[in-house]
Structure formats: structure tokens, C-alpha cells
Amino acid sequence: MTVSYALLALLEGAARHGYDLKQSYDRRFAATKPIQFGQVYRTLAQLVRAGRAEVLGVEAGAGPDRKRYAITAEGVTDLDAWLSEPEQPQPLLQSVLFTKVVLALMSGRPAQRFLGAQRATHLAAMKRLTRARRSASSTQDVLLADFQLFHIEADLRWIDHTESRLAALAEEVRDDRAADRP
């Protein structure tokens, strides 16, 4: 979903070939995992079918695809609507952490040890990201690292908060477990 809008936004600046789009996308959004050519061309084909992009022409030259793509008026409207729409928060990782804590308590395993190990992993990741941030060459890269740092920091705050309430949670989980028994 995000890739298709990113390609539309890149096309809004100027009509371009698929190869150029991949390079621009990777430079801005794919610091750790470049987008595959196949995904770029599949997405462009979908955008053309949906009327949000069009092929301006096919040029002769080297390479597998010399089609030039442009955004359509419908594509601009769609992109505008997507950019205006707030995203729902997606606390996915946090729910995994929560589940692990509850399952550890349910099964009589030491949840505190899990939280401690998770804290160490998160802190080490923050150090790696902070180093990368210091050597970042652009504001975009700095803000991408910041985005990740703030999210990890939020997890850490939850880990600290949960650890301070672990006894109450353990009691609740024990009660629930007793109620579960046939």
C-alpha cells in the first residue's frame, strides 16, 4: 500500500522510468532493504490498471523496461486523500511483548528475566541506531533513525512500567488461570 503511494508521489514530481523510480525510492525509504525491481514494475502495472498512472510512451534503449510513467489526475486526487488521512497507531511489537509477559506468568516462568533481557536488547539496538544517526549524511536519515529510536524508547518505558506492576499482573493471571480450569 505504502509503496504504491510512494511511487505515485515520486511520479508527481516528473514522469519517470521504472528504473529511476526504484533508485529514488531506495534513496529515500529503503535504507536497509531495497525494493525489488519486480515489485516496482508490478506496482506500476497495478497503478496503470487502476487509472492512477499512465504510460506516456515506450523508448528504445538498453534495459528491460523503457516505459515512461506519469501520474494521472485521479492518481493525484488519490494521493492527496491518502496523505490527508491519519493512520491508526499500530502497536504491533508491544502486543508481542505483552503476550510474552502474560504467557510467562501463566506458565510459571520468570517474566522479570524476560523483561530484563528485552530491555538489554532494546538498549543495545538504541546504541546501534544512535551511532548510525551520528554518521547519517542527511536529515532524512537522521529522522528515520529518530523514528525508530522513539518507538524503541516507548517500548522501554512500557517494560519499566510493567516490571513495576508485575506482582499485580501475576496475581491477576493466576486468578484468570484458576477460572479457566475445567
Partner 1 sequence: MTELLTGRDLYKSFGLTEALRGACIGVRSGEIVAVMGPSGCGKSTLLHCLAGILRPDAGEVHFAGQRIDHLPDLQRARLRRTTFGFVFQFGQLVPELPVIENIALPLRLAGQNRRTAVAAADAWLHRLDLDGLGARLPGELSGGQGQRVALARALVANPRIVFADEPTGSLDSFAADQMMELLVDAARVQGTSVIVVTHEARVAAHADRTVLIRDGVHELQVGAA
In the complex, the residues that contact partner 1 under the rule CB under 8 A are: 116, 119-120, 122-131, 134, 149-150, 152-153, 156, 160, 164
Query: Rounded to whole angstroms, how far apart are CA atoms 180 and 174?
Result: 10
The smaller minimum CB distance to partner 1, of residues 42 and 157, is found at: 157
The smaller minimum CB distance to partner 1, of residues 51 and 116, is found at: 116
Question: Cβ 119 to partner 1, closest distance in Å?
Answer: 7
Question: Cβ 104 to partner 1, closest distance in Å?
Answer: 18
Question: Cβ 172 to partner 1, closest distance in Å?
Answer: 23
Q: CA angle at residue 179 from 173 to 181, to 5 degrees?
A: 105
Query: Rounded to whole angstroms, how far apart are CA atoms 39 and 21?
Result: 11
Question: Cβ 116 to partner 1, closest distance in Å?
Answer: 6
The smaller minimum CB distance to partner 1, of residues 88 and 139, is found at: 139
Query: Rounded to whole angstroms, how far apart are CA atoms 127 and 93?
Result: 19
Q: What are the cell numbers at 146?
A: 529518530
> Comparing C-alpha atoms, which of 17, 7, 4, 25 is closest to residue 64?
17
